[in-house]
């Protein structure tokens, strides 16, 4: 315990360092309401110069998920007092073993608006240097370079791996890391139980939509994401695997796998990469006006605890995500407990959401109550209807309130896995898992899958969630308090 009378600016304060906190309040009893308290887990570093020392710490902005760097300078009566406070604070900070000391950083200079190098230099590197974290930086020059590096390089000296880029960059990162673990353990990527990498991951938003970062941190602000990396708190993140008839096509995704409308957008937008992020708006408008539907069969293995995906949002203290991993991933005991449900029809979209898929353009996402680490996937089926219903869908996705599940032509199911078989115009004699009936024949081409922004051309797919397969640098989301009326308060 340290106690001292210090000065902050012109105010004389009483300060205490105890039980993992530094707290101070004005010595004047009339100003006792101005008490401040900072957890040592939020302090990036402590700087000392003569009789002054400065706390550099992160603080969440009111009514927001964004964090900002704060500095408070204390003036002690002498240099010995300042040095004692600095030494003790640093000692307790260094004792926090969860903080990274050396990280590997991949920077994608081509994603989104090509802002990743600037974001790293201005928003990330200064924080890493301030915290005394050594970083090895690799600027990518070609697709799959991250995967190749992770498969070949020695990672023994790193206690964190980060990427500055979009959802596709992060996808390449965790696919490469899990592929390395599978290779070392002799386990195929198609296995129902994949080995968990030991190194935690971080994603610094530098892409077009930054869905994964937005869902993990509640914001796509690079400073917030970099601060969570520096402070070192971590938690599990589900990944879903998608496999097809080609075993080599096994792939993991973190946000959403979508067949139909979003798959068509991803495929066509590749022709307009020169347009930058606006290519998605252009391709989306074209596909919206086309209003094309696709016939198929979806076989869903329902989650018996919440089949209709009606639980509350995933926030701090989430019971679903905090349940023991072994209990939540046990195989179902019977088909009655977790029944297969088979749905046939013509769909605008078939989606497997691993997270809510919220972003700036869609603040609530496809499935607002989807959880980050509960071992389930939300299957979102959008029936093919009139184009005006598609407009209702897009308006609901861009709204800050409500859910697409409230629309009569949308169905959301929480599942332990699902299988999709498109109609290919043949005799439809094949049956999907859980089904013994063929799909009625109908003309028309197949769509493709949009997998974390990448195009997968194989139509038939089996999707399986893997609970907390990777560890990521993040803090549990806290529901920000609603801002009050300035006049009333």
- Dist CA 258 CA 403 (whole Å): 18
Pairing of strands 377-383, 340-353: antiparallel
DSSP assignment of 75-109 equals E-SSHHHHHHHHHHHHHHHHT-TTS-SEEEEEE-T
Return contacts of 480-484, CB within 8 angstroms, 24+ apart. 480/62, 480/63, 480/64, 480/65, 480/218, 481/62, 481/63, 482/63, 483/62, 483/63
- Hey, which bits of 206-303 come out as E strands? 234-243, 251-253, 256-260, 294-302
- Dist CA 333 CA 337 (whole Å): 7
- Please answer whether residues 157 and 224 qualify as being in contact, where contact means their C-beta atoms are separated by less than 8 angstroms: no
Radius of gyration of the chain (CA): 25
Taking CA 423 as the corner, what is the angle to CA 460 and CA 458, rounded to the nearest 5 degrees? Answer: 25
Catalytic pick among 167, 221, 378, 452: 167
Q: Annotated catalytic, 167?
A: yes
- Residue closest to 307 by CA, chosen among 404, 410, 414: 414
- Dist CA 272 CA 266 (whole Å): 10
- Residue closest to 177 by CA, chosen among 204, 140, 151: 151
In the numeric block, which tokens belong to residue 354?
A: 């691993």
- Residue closest to 404 by CA, chosen among 429, 435, 369: 369
Task: Give the H/E segment covering residue 145.
Answer: helix 145-152
In the numeric block, which tokens belong to residue 11?
A: 């105010």
Catalytic residues: 167
């Amino acid at each position: 315990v340290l106690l001292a009378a210090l000065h902050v600016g012109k105010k004389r304060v009483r300060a205490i360092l105890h039980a993992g906190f530094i707290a101070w309040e004005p010595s004047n009893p009339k100003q006792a309401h101005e008490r401040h308290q900072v957890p040592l887990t939020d302090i990036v570093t402590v700087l000392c110069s003569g009789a002054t020392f400065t706390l550099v710490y992160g603080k969440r902005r009111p009514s927001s998920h964004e964090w900002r760097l704060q500095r408070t300078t204390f003036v002690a009566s002498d240099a010995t007092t300042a040095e004692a406070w600095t030494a003790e604070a640093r000692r307790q900070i260094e004792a926090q073993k969860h903080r990274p000391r050396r990280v590997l950083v991949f920077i994608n200079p081509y994603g989104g608006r090509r802002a990743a190098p600037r974001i790293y230099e201005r928003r990330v590197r200064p924080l890493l240097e301030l915290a005394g974290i050594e970083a090895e930086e690799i600027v990518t020059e070609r697709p799959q370079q991250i995967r190749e590096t992770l498969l070949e390089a020695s990672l023994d000296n790193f206690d964190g791996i980060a990427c500055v880029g979009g959802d596709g960059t992060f996808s390449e990162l965790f696919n490469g890391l899990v592929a390395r673990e599978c290779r070392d353990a002799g386990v195929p990527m198609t296995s129902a139980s994949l080995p968990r990498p030991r190194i935690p991951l971080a994603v610094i938003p530098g892409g077009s939509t930054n869905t994964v970062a937005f869902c993990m941190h509640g914001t796509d602000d690079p400073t917030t994401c970099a601060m969570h990396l520096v402070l070192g708190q971590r938690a599990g993140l589900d990944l879903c695997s998608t496999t097809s008839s080609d075993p080599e096509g096994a792939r993991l995704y973190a946000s959403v796998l979508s067949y139909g409308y979003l798959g068509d957008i991803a495929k066509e937008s590749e022709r307009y990469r020169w347009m930058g992020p606006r290519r998605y708006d252009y391709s989306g408008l074209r596909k919206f006006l086309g209003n094309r539907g696709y016939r198929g069969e979806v076989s869903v293995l329902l989650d018996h605890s919440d089949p209709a995906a009606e639980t509350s949002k995933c926030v701090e203290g989430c019971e679903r995500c905090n349940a023991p991993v072994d209990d939540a991933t046990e195989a179902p005991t019977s088909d009655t407990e977790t029944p297969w449900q088979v749905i046939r029809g013509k769909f605008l979209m078939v989606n497997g959401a691993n997270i809510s898929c919220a972003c700036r353009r869609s603040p609530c996402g496809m499935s607002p109550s989807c959880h980050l680490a509960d071992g389930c996937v939300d299957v979102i089926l959008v029936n093919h209807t009139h184009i005006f219903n598609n407009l209702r869908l897009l308006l609901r996705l861009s709204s800050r309130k409500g859910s697409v599940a409230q629309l009569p032509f949308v169905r959301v199911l929480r599942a332990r896995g699902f299988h999709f078989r498109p109609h290919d115009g043949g005799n439809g004699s094949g049956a999907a898992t859980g089904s013994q009936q063929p799909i009625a024949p109908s003309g028309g081409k197949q769509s493709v899958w949009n997998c974390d922004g990448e195009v997968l051309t194989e139509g038939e797919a089996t999707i399986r969630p893997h609970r907390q397969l990777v560890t990521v640098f993040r803090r549990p989301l806290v529901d920000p308090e609603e801002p009050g009326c300035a006049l009333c308060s």
